[in-house]
Every structure is written in structure tokens, then in C-alpha cells.
Amino acid sequence: MSTLKEKLYKKIKEHRPRTTKLIKEYGDKVIDQVTVSQALGGMRGIKSLVTDISYLDPLEGIRYRGYTLPEVLEKLPKSKGAEMPYVEGLYYLLLTGEIPTQEEVDDVIIDFNNRRTVPQYVKNVIDAFPSESHPMAILSAAVMSLERESLFNIKYKKGMSKMDYWDATYEDATNLLAKIPLIGAYIYNKLYHPEKGHRFCDPTLDLGANFAYMMGKDKPYDDVTRMYFIIHADHESGNVSAHTGHLVASSLSDVYYATSAMINGLAGPLHGLANQEVLRWLQGLRNKMGGKLPSKEELKKYVWDTLNSGQVIPGYGHAVLRKTDPRYSVQREFCLKHLPEDDLFKYVDALYEVVPDILREHGKAKNPWPNVDAQSGVVQWHYGVTQYDFYTVLFSIGRSFGVLSNIIWDRALGYSLERPKSVTTEMLEKMVGID
């Protein structure tokens, strides 16, 4: 058993009695109530999911296992000369709640490297897609095609005990996490650089460096990759991608089904696809300006024109957050250090000066501040990943780490099949006293 798996098992055994006690002794305690607008409005804010992997405070932003993003980036081990930590170390933290030592991370890196071969049939599935297909559709199908590898399914058919579900799920999840960056890079090269052919991974490199290598990018793209995957990993359990992954897995569908579904949820423009929308919107602005930096008045007009035509400002607003997203701030810091003169970065910074006030004046969005997607495309664009359809694939790879860590714990704690109750409009009307 690997060090990580051993540590995880110890944590699972320690944790199980807490969940059991809560259900047995406090199962009837009320922790929230539901209003009509919540039932009709996407269940905003209803406390009905439990996860210890991350928590999203509306004013502070995300914490992974109690650590803020700047703390995660500072505390997790890094390779020599790297600015950003190993993604493998993040997996250790999400699963166990502990900051790993360099030795413990090395062990995860070796384990990942042993699992990362992508079968030829997956590449065939990717190759079979027409080149105008969206990369998210290809990623979803590629992950789905791997389903035949599920150890959970094989063991389930043989009569696996419920107490062992977490083990087979851990194996499936770790196999998929080791492979999904390779699948992403393969899709990128097939769609946008078919002339270069497929680059096999370098077994001496960690996940971040290897992804940069397969994408054909020089330093500091390895750090961009690590930063990108780490900040996108988790955002507690109620967002569409995390919730979809959890929901699908709750029926004991294996992690391949759950991850593919999670990817499909992330592909919507109100969620992960917003990063592509931001770039499309910024390009529209740049084209309108003929490349020059717009004045404040010109910027304001562009923002108002977007709102007045009934569209949202991509990269702004959030269902939970009520201040600037720390994932935006982490990327901004990176931009200030590495690309302060970048054209698009200047656009994004200039927009930050005008959009919040306009959204306040517009009077609809509860949160006028930027979210993660307002910055992420700019970083990728700067390093030559200008095919913005691809950005949500990068988001998906990062998000897989959080979703799969959650699913392993769901299985470990025996979380139930999800089955909320729906009512009809007529019933709702009766409940509130409308005849």
C-alpha cells in the first residue's frame, strides 16, 4: 500500500465514527429550512451537502482542508526552482488533510507515473472526433471510454463489501487522475497542432512539468499548470461540476461515469466555460479598439452595451462569493510578476476598475466582483494557448482532483444515494396559501 493510501485509510477509520454518531444520535436535528425562492431558484444556499475537503466562505473565498489558497501555495512542497507546488502534493492534502513532506510527495509522483499510460483505444476515440468538435465533448467521451478499466465495477460484481468501496474507488480515481492530463494534452495537440504529432510523457517529470512538456511549452508554463490545476481543484460541494460528480457517484456509478458527467456540467457558460467566454468577450473589445487600450469611457460603454443586449459580463458575479475571488487574486499576482506588460492583462485590470461599479448600478448581480474565470484565460493566452475553447479542459483537469477526492470520501463514509424531493407548482401554491 502506498504511503498516501495508508494514511488515507487511517484517516477514514478515525473519521467514520463521527459520521455514524451524527446520523444515529442527531439525525432529527434541523440545520436549515427551505424557502420558496430557494426551491425555485437553484437551491441557493441550502445546507444539504457535507464535505471536509473544502469550504467556501462568501467573504474569504475557498479553503482547502482549512488552508486558504495563499497558504496552500506556500506550504505544499515544491520542486527545485519552482514557484508553484506539486499538484501531487495537493492530492495528498485533499485526501488526508495533512501537508505532505517532500518524501511523501515523491511517493505520490512515482505512483502517478506508474499509472499514466493512456490506452490506444482512448486515443482512437479522440482521433475519431471531427476537428470542429468542442474539446470538452471530446474530453468527456475520452474519459467515458476508459470506463471499462474500472476496478470498482469488477470488484462490485464479485460482491465487494461496502467497507471496501473506498479502496477500489481510490484505485480508479488515482488511475484517472494520472491519465487525465495526458488525455487533455493529447486533445490539444490533435485539435490545434496536428503537424507536431503526439508527445509521449517524460517519466522523470512531475505532473505539472510533464503537462507543460506534452503541450510543447517552456518554463514557466510548468508553474502556470501547477497554479491552474491547484486553484481550480475544489470549491466545496454545491457548484454544478462538484455536485454533478457527487450525485452521479451516489448511485455507485464508477468514477469514470461521474467524472464524465462532472465535465459535462463544467462545460456550461455560467460555470467553467465562462473562462472561454471571457476571452471571446475581451477579443471582441480588442477588435473594436483596433488593438489600442480603451479609455475608461470606452470600457464603460462596452460593458453597458453587453448588459443592455441582455448578456452577462463573463468572469463577474458568483452564486456564493461576495468579494473578489482569491483564485482571481492568485492569478493576478502571477500576472503582475510575469506578464505586467501583457496587453490582455491590461484590459482585464482596466475592467476591474469599471465593472464592479457598473454591476452595482445595473442592480441585479448580488456579487459585482470578478471570479476565477476573469483572469485565467489571460494567463493561458500569454503563454501561447490562444485556442480559448480549450480553457475549460484545463479547468476540468484541475477540478477532477477535488471531485474525485470527494467521491473517495463519499464511499468511505457510506454517503447515501442522493434523492431530494420535488413538488408540483400546485402543491407549492397550496403550501403558501394561494387558492
Which residues does the annotation mark as catalytic?
271, 318, 373
Residue 313 engages ligand FCX in binding (rule: CB under 6 A) = yes
Minimum distance from CB of 335 to ligand FCX (Å)? 18
- The one among 318, 382, 399, 411 contacting ligand FCX by CB under 6 A: 318
Q: Shortest distance, CB of residue 3 to ligand FCX, whole angstroms?
A: 33
Residues 215 and 188 sit within 8 Å (Cβ to Cβ): yes
Q: Is 286 exposed, middle or buried (0-12, 13-18, 19+ CB in 10 A)?
A: middle
CA dihedral (264, 269, 274, 280) in degrees, to 10, reads 120
Binding to ligand FCX by CB under 6 A, coded x per residue (else -) over 206-245, reads: ---------------------------------x------
Minimum distance, C-beta of residue 59 to ligand FCX, in the bound complex (Å): 15
Contact call for residues 177 and 400 (beta carbons, < 8 A):
yes
Residue in 261, 365, 378, 394 binding ligand FCX, rule: CB under 6 A: 365
Q: Which is nearer to ligand FCX, 50 or 270 (CB)?
A: 270
d(CA 408, CA 95): 8
Question: What 3-state class would DSSP assign to 247?
Answer: helix
**Among 45-53, 219-227, 296-304, 366-374, which window interacts with ligand FCX (CB under 6 A)?**
366-374
User: Binding segment for ligand FCX among 70-78, 130-138, 338-346, 370-378 (CB under 6 A)?
Assistant: 370-378
From candidates 372, 394, 412, 413, binder to ligand FCX by CB under 6 A: 372
Q: Which of residues 160-189 bind ligand FCX (CB under 6 A)?
A: none
CB contact at 8 A, 376 and 330: no
364: contact with ligand FCX by CB under 6 A: yes
Residue number with CB closer to ligand FCX (120 or 308): 308
Interaction with ligand FCX in 32-91: which residues (CB under 6 A)?
none
Q: Return the half-sphere exposure (C-beta side, CA atoms, 13 A cut-off) of residue 170.
A: 23
CB of 81 to ligand FCX, least distance (A): 31
Cβ–Cβ contacts within 10 Å for residue 216, how many?
14
360 makes contact with ligand FCX (CB under 6 A): no
Nearer to ligand FCX, 141 or 312 (CB): 312
Question: Measured from the CB atom, is 373 or 410 closer to ligand FCX?
Answer: 373
Query: Helices (DSSP H) in 27-101: which residue ranges?
Result: 36-40, 69-75, 87-96
Stretch that binds ligand FCX, among 81-89, 140-148, 267-275, 345-353 (CB under 6 A): 267-275
Q: Which CB, 210 or 367, lies closer to ligand FCX? A: 367
d(CA 382, CA 279): 12
Q: Which of these segments, 62-70, 111-119, 121-129, 368-376, binds ligand FCX (CB under 6 A)?
A: 368-376
Task: List binders of ligand FCX among 331-350 (CB under 6 A).
Answer: none
351 and 299 in contact (C-beta within 8 Å)?
yes
What phi and psi values does residue 260 have, to the nearest 5 degrees?
-60, -40
Contacting range for ligand FCX; rule: CB under 6 A; set: 119-127, 162-170, 311-319, 330-338: 311-319
Per DSSP, the three-state class of 323 is: coil
Report the residue number, 216 or 268, with the smaller CB distance to ligand FCX: 268
User: For residues 98 and 52, what is the distance between their CA atoms, to the nearest angstrom?
Assistant: 12
Q: How far apart are CA 325 and CA 323, in angstroms?
A: 6
Q: How far apart are CA 359 and CA 367, in angstroms?
A: 8
| Number of residues engaging ligand FCX in binding (CB under 6 A) | 21
CB-nearest residue to ligand FCX: 317
HSE, CB side, 13 Å, CA atoms: give it for residue 336: 7
Residues in touch with ligand FCX (CB under 6 A): 239, 270-272, 274, 307, 312-319, 364-367, 371-373
